[in-house]
Amino acid sequence: MAPWALLSPGVLVRTGHTVLTWGITLVLFLHDTALRQWEEQGDLLLPLAFLLLVLGSLLLYLAVSLMDPGYVNIQPQAQEEAKEEQTAMVPQVIPLRRCRYCLLLPLRARHCRECRRCVRRYDHHCPWMENCVGERNHPLFVAYLAVQLVVLLWGLYLAWSGLRFFQPWGLWLRSSGLLFATFLLLSILSLVAGLLLASHLYLVASNTTTWEFLSSHRIAYLRQRPGNPFDRGLIRNLAHFFCGWPSGSWETLWAEEEEEEGRSQAV
């Protein structure tokens, strides 16, 4: 690997996230917070649980950041053969979508300019992950947000437990200035993580994506439909998102919804 590859955006972002995570954890352990009080009392279960949660959130972050989000495979065969084969697999009622780089786009896929690949069930490109969130890593992304929010809220409580405000200003700034800055940072991150988790749970419950939610007026397969053609109710949406059940392509689901609407209009 070339030395300059270590300075790529992905490496820098992931390194920064890791350093920030363990740096905040270290600040919480070094100051007179509830963590330190638990240690002094010999109660190591809660500090160990906190460390395991921090480690779990970091591992989930790296998993989502490094894994394939669901890239559309480009076969090495001739372009015309690929187009004919892919077109034959798509029901004729579905509007065909083409990408100048990846040939025929599957339904709900989108080309990411940052990754330079088409991603199945594209949600968004996350700059903090330096990776797309798509069909394969979206469930892990939601799990990461949930675990990260628990860690942030717990860290927020720990930082608050170590703050002592009834001290002279100069002494307080030397003893608690860094902890107070950590508290403010955790407050902001907790708000961001909470809003992200709430929005993605809403999207999952309705079986839509961030891209589809924000750009439905520009997407051909959504613009011509009054509602969301992929919504199958809360339980089935959650089961499909987290467990992959019931299985089936989005093209088939879209075509079935089209046929159901046609029958209802005929009646």
Catalytic positions, written as ranges = 126
* Predicted confidence (pLDDT) per residue in 121-143, tens digit: 999 999 999 999 999 999 999 99
Report, as an integer, the average pLDDT of 221-238. Answer: 86
Residue of higher predicted confidence among 265 and 63: 63
In the predicted model, is pLDDT for residue 4 greater than 60?
Answer: no
Residue 80: which pLDDT band, with cuts at 50, 70 and 90? very low
Which tokens hold the place of 202? 């809403």
Query: Is 53 in contact with 144 (CB distance < 8 Å)?
Result: no
Mean pLDDT over each residue of the chain, to the nearest integer? 85
**Which among 74, 66, 203 has a CA at the least distance from the CA of 136?**
66
Q: What is the SS3 assignment for the chain?
A: CCHHHHHCHHHHHHHHHHHHHHHHHHHHHHCCCHHHHHHHCCCCHHHHHHHHHHHHHHHHHHHHHHCCCCECCCCCCCHHHHHHHHHHHCCCCCCCEEECCCEEECCCCEEECCCCEEECCCCEEECCCCEEECCCCHHHHHHHHHHHHHHHHHHHHHHHHCCCCCCCHHHHHHHHHHHHHHHHHHHHHHHHHHHHHHHHHHHHHCCCCHHHHHHHHHCHHHHCCCCCCCCCCHHHHHHHHHHCCCCCCHHHHHHHHHHHHHHHHHC
Residue of higher predicted confidence among 116 and 185: 185
* Predicted confidence (pLDDT) per residue in 175-223, tens digit: 888 999 999 999 999 999 999 999 999 999 999 999 999 998 888 888 8
Which residues, including other chains, have CB under 8 Å from residue 87's CB and lie 6 or more apart?
96, 104
pLDDT of the residue at 223 = 82
Torsional sign, CA 59, 65, 67, 69: positive
* Predicted confidence (pLDDT) per residue in 15-49, tens digit: 999 999 999 999 999 999 999 889 888 889 999 99
pLDDT of the residue at 8 = 85
Residue 171: which pLDDT band, with cuts at 50, 70 and 90? confident
In the predicted model, is pLDDT for residue 241 greater than 90?
Answer: yes
pLDDT of the residue at 260 = 58
In the predicted model, is pLDDT for residue 12 greater than 80?
Answer: yes
Query: What is the number of residues in the chain?
Result: 267
Angle at 95 between CA 91 and CA 97, to 5 degrees: 110
β-bridge mates for residue 131, sequence order: 126
**Which among 210, 198, 205, 73 has a CA at the least distance from the CA of 133?**
210
